[in-house]
Chains A and B, each alone.
Chain A
Amino acid sequence: DTGVSQDPRHKITKRGQNVTFRCDPISEHNRLYWYRQTLGQGPEFLTYFQNEAQLEKSRLLSDRFSAERPKGSFSTLEIQRTEQGDSAMYLCASSLEYPNTEAFFGQGTRLTVV
């Protein structure tokens, strides 16, 4: 599968622990997005990178959340001091640089905070 890949697929963690997720976009894609999806809802925008630059962060992204894309390739999303409300599917997507172009999604990381 040469699409967007995410690791791990599932993560169960205790409240208060830190977790880190990884996303590997399609290799030629400059843009990388992180979304959060809860049951019965559409994906909610969290943040977006153009190459290694983080260009936009949602107000949903509290100080406990940080994302990086150090070399403009893979990205990591870290959640510190996890809370039960962080339980969700975290989706990564990537796209080419041109406007109005398809975003390709990964299969997501399902986080459960107990």
Chain B
Amino acid sequence: GENVEQHPSTLSVQEGDSAVIKCTYSDSASNYFPWYKQELGKRPQLIIDIRSNVGEKKDQRIAVTLNKTAKHFSLHITETQPEDSAVYFCAASTSGTYKYIFGTGTRLKVLA
């Protein structure tokens, strides 16, 4: 069945450094890849997404890259700040099914 693997499970970086989180998906028909940020006790919120017809998307300090051949996509956060500390989830979705398959999450800690 569909599966999304996410690494690392925890990541600690110094404030100002970059953070990279990687995900691999199994369903080659997947064509939509959102990233969600979940702060403690709060709902997951979309921070960036990418569709399969593009290889990279950037929004200020956040970027996502997609390699369809290898079936993996990555989240890049530059100039990290303490408020970036949260759990980040990647997900994959396929047109026609519309459900989102989530990775297991990465707990990011930005150390001041």
A residues whose Cβ falls under 8 Å from a Cβ of B = 4, 31, 33, 35, 40-45, 48, 50, 56, 91, 95, 99-108
Q: Which residues on the B side are within 8 Å of A106 (C-beta)?
A: 43
Count of chain A to chain B residue pairs whose CB atoms are closer than 8 Å in the complex: 61
Give the contacting residue for A42; candidates B31, B51, B104; CB below 8 A.
B104
Across the two chains, which residue of chain B brings its CB closest to A99?
A: B95
Across the two chains, which residue of chain A brings its CB closest to B46?
A: A102
With A100-B31, A106-B43, A107-B42 known to touch, is A41 a contact of B99 (CB < 8 Å)? no
Interface residues on B, range: 20 to 34
Q: Is there an interface contact between B34 and A102, defined as CB atoms closer than 8 Å?
A: yes
**At the interface, yes or no: B102 with Cβ under 8 Å from chain A?**
yes
Q: Which residues on the A side are within 8 Å of B6 (C-beta)?
A: 42
A108 to B4, CA, bound (A): 22
Q: Which residues on the A side are within 8 Å of B100 (C-beta)?
A: 33, 43, 45, 103
Q: Which residues on the B side are within 8 Å of A43 (C-beta)?
A: 44, 89, 100, 102
Q: Which residues on the B side are within 8 Å of A40 (C-beta)?
A: 104-105
With A56-B99, A91-B44 known to touch, is A103 a contact of B34 (CB < 8 Å)? yes
With A48-B98, A105-B43 known to touch, is A100 a contact of B93 (CB < 8 Å)? yes
Q: Is there an interface contact between B32 and A42, defined as CB atoms closer than 8 Å?
A: no
Q: Is there an interface contact between A41 and B105, defined as CB atoms closer than 8 Å?
A: yes
Q: What are 20 A-B pairs at a CB distance below 8 A?
A: A4-B43, A35-B102, A40-B105, A41-B104, A41-B105, A42-B89, A42-B105, A43-B100, A44-B102, A45-B102, A50-B98, A95-B98, A99-B32, A99-B95, A100-B31, A100-B51, A102-B46, A102-B49, A103-B46, A105-B36
